[in-house]
Amino acid sequence: MADRAMTERAVTGHALPPIVLWGLSAGVAALLFTWRVGMQWPTAPGDGVDLDRIILFYSTLPRAAVAVLAGAVLGLSGLLLQRVLRNPLAEPSTLGISAGAQLAMTAASVYAPFLMERSQGPVAFAGGIAAVLLVLSLTWRRGLEPVSVVLAGMMVALTASSISAALILANGDYLFSLFIWGGGSLVQQDWGPAIALAVRLAVGAVAALLLLRPLTILGLDDASARSLGIARHSSRFLVIALAVWMATGVVAEVGVIGFVGLAAPALATLSGARTLRQRLLAAPLIGAILLWLTDGLAQLAAGTGGERIPTGAGTALLGGPVLLWLLPRLRMLEWPNLGTNSPSPRKAARPRLIILLLFLAVLFAAGVALLLGRGPTGWSVAGGDMLLDLAAWRAPRIGVAAAAGAMLAVAGVVIQRITGNPLASPEVLGVGTGAGAGLTAVLTLSAAAAPVWQFAGSVLGSLAVLIAMLAIGARAKFGAERLLLAGVAMSALCSAVTTAAIAMGNAQSYVLLRWLSGSTSQATGVDAWLMIACLVLLTLPLFLAARWLDILPLGENTARGLGLPVAKGRLTLIVLAAILTALAAMFVGPLSFVGLIAPHLARLVGFARARAHLASAVLIGALLMIVSDWLSRMAAFPYELPVGLFASLLGGPYLVHLLAKGVPRHG
């Protein structure tokens, strides 16, 4: 209770009352809009054609309308999802709804164009609802516990967007499509989308009002809901379907616009909306203001040669920092802490034997990847001279993949132990995408930056993100959910930087695209040896400092009490993790999720002590990445697919399956 009073004071004691703040934001958005209208106001009648009027009426005005409507739709959709799932992290992006809709639309344009021609909306809805059903069914047995749901959602989202990217890559004029998909664009040329979104908003608002009572009760825990006689599941699904219908409408009309669905309800709560009724009003309003303002700024930044920052990326650029700043002020007491009821982890009965088995599995996988492959005549097992010849190509890739997987695993172990959060990882906390932002910065300074500088930029980017995350986490004494939320925001922010740079469509874009999708294709023997050397050099000290890793999760005071140089130790570990992440991302991209999966699997196998945990995670990471790399080369031979896709396809479902089974986790 004391905690609650404190946070409330923090909010209300703020210099500006929220309503003034939002009024001001809306004012700025309106000002930007008026300025734009003024610029396009038809000057002299009879001055050529009345094109100015047409642009004003069919482009400028509907664009503002779409910004307001899409923002409101996303805000409402996010609020409904957060309410029925009792999950402050739920929203169209984190639940995989947007990515699912996007995948469905991409697949439809490739395989069934007639569907896209006639019924874009239903296609998007089908994709979104499939994604959310998958997420819910995966986490059903864990009672839809918030963090599991979001974790599964992010896995589904990641996999869906990887498959979309692979489809685009393998099937089309890919760069152009990727530019457009990369960030939602609000460019309009008639009132169709605005009307479609207005309908969705109106239907959504009316339905939400009609569902006010069930919604109020669904926000309570299951037991109370049951005793109040609500058909919990059917009304839950009804609300979810409604939210998905609204959110996928936005995807179908303007593309993926992240973040508004997450931020608007959170900001509504922070702005003092207490009751559900107030929030139902405030969340769409704030969403509308956010998107309208962002779009105004995006148009301000646009030149005549096209938009420099897609609005969809702009929302993250603007909203990310806002959410990060507000997080410590966000109250999340309504949700049970996931760490409290997990019993101590299972211990592996014979750790040495398991580690030996894992090591043999890595060797076996490497052997298979070296020997078995596809050629012009089909599958073949290499031998003799042919093996010597092919090994020169295959061995470096295997080596680099193994080292990258192991590095991500080590980074994951370190990050999970520093934060004491089993769900933290380089991918979840945005450290990988931070490397991308750093790389973008270097490439912006010089398009032909040497690889060393590119690498230095990546390291600095991931380091900056990691330090920022830990600083935010430490200041606010974050729980698992909050750190995850900060990670989502940071990740969105960093990928927005990269997306904006890719959307410029210049020489740097291609470098960044290649980096994003990840490929061991350019790996040479030297690269492989360098990566392995770096792995050994950076990981050995960790084995020696295993005591730190054992003690740090116990908390700062305990650690200090045990005589640990906490500040120095943490910093060293952070720098190590950042370098490892940036190194790995150079070859496998930022989004493989191996850094999350490998340490987790190692823990689930039963390795709790740091040294064994590290060793087994290294082996699992290497194993995952070797297999993914091999699959990425074999699946569509001779076409090579992004390696990160296969890593998340391999490890993700298994991890989610384990989560669903309710295997104990432990911070």
Partner 1 sequence: MIFLPRAMVHLPNRRQALALGLAAALPPIVARAAPLRVAAIDWGMLETLLALGIEPVAATELIQFRKIAVEPIVPRSVTDLGLRGTPNYELLRTVAPDLIVISNFYEYQRPMLERIAPVLAQAVYAPGVPPYPLAEAAALALGERLARLAEAKRYVDETSVEITRLRAALTAASGRPVFVISLGDSRHFRAFGRDSMFGDVLQRLGMKNAWIDETDYSAAAPVGLEALARVPDASILVVSPLPADVGRSLPANALWNALPAVREGRVAVLEPINHFGGLPSARRFARLATVALAGQAHG
Give residues in contact with partner 1 (CB under 8 A).
48-49, 51, 54-55, 58-59, 108-109, 113, 116-118, 120, 169-173, 176-177, 179-180, 185, 187-192, 303-307, 373, 375-377, 380, 385-386, 389-390, 392-394, 503-507, 510, 514, 519, 521-522, 524, 633, 636-640
3 state SS of 487: helix
Count of beta carbons in the 10 Å neighbourhood of residue 35: 13
d(CA 542, CA 576): 9
Q: How far is the CB of 110 from partner 1 (least distance, A)?
A: 8
Q: How far is the CB of 590 from partner 1 (least distance, A)?
A: 17
Q: How far is the CB of 191 from partner 1 (least distance, A)?
A: 7
- Rank residues 249 and 351 by Cβ distance to partner 1 and give the closer one: 249
- Rank residues 62 and 412 by Cβ distance to partner 1 and give the closer one: 62
- Rank residues 140 and 176 by Cβ distance to partner 1 and give the closer one: 176
Yes or no: say if 470 and 418 are a contact pair by the CB < 8 Å rule: yes
Q: How far is the CB of 392 from partner 1 (least distance, A)?
A: 8
Locate tokens 């409507």: which residue?
A: 69
Q: What is the DSSP string of 514-562?
A: HHHH--STT--HHHHHHHHHHHHHHHHHHHHTHHHHHHGGG-HHHHHHT
CA-closest candidate to residue 326, choices 269, 260, 257, 261: 269
Q: How far is the CB of 59 from partner 1 (least distance, A)?
A: 4
CA-closest candidate to residue 120, choices 104, 131, 133, 136: 104
Q: How far is the CB of 503 from partner 1 (least distance, A)?
A: 6
- Rank residues 505 and 667 by Cβ distance to partner 1 and give the closer one: 505
Per the DSSP assignment, residues forming a β-bridge with 375 are: 378
Indicate the Cα dihedral angle 186, 192, 196, 199, nearest 10°. 120
Ramachandran assignment for 382, one of left (phi > 0), alpha (psi -120 to 50 degrees), beta (any other)? beta
- Rank residues 109 and 416 by Cβ distance to partner 1 and give the closer one: 109
Q: What is the largest CA-CA distance in the chain?
A: 88
Distance of CA 274 to the CA centre of its chain: 29
Locate tokens 């054992």: which residue?
A: 550
Yes or no: say if 309 and 499 are a contact pair by the CB < 8 Å rule: no
CA–CA–CA angle 477, 96, 412 (5° rounding): 45
CA-closest candidate to residue 271, choices 5, 3, 70, 16: 16
- Rank residues 80 and 647 by Cβ distance to partner 1 and give the closer one: 647
Q: How far is the CB of 108 from partner 1 (least distance, A)?
A: 7
- Rank residues 108 and 566 by Cβ distance to partner 1 and give the closer one: 108
Helices (H), 308-448: 311-326, 351-371, 384-419, 431-445
Q: How far is the CB of 631 from partner 1 (least distance, A)?
A: 15
- Rank residues 179 and 478 by Cβ distance to partner 1 and give the closer one: 179
d(CA 342, CA 638): 47
Q: How far is the CB of 112 from partner 1 (least distance, A)?
A: 9
- Rank residues 634 and 658 by Cβ distance to partner 1 and give the closer one: 634
- Rank residues 244 and 516 by Cβ distance to partner 1 and give the closer one: 516
Q: How far is the CB of 60 from partner 1 (least distance, A)?
A: 8
3 state SS of 639: strand
Q: How far is the CB of 125 from partner 1 (least distance, A)?
A: 15
d(CA 282, CA 265): 8
- Rank residues 164 and 421 by Cβ distance to partner 1 and give the closer one: 164
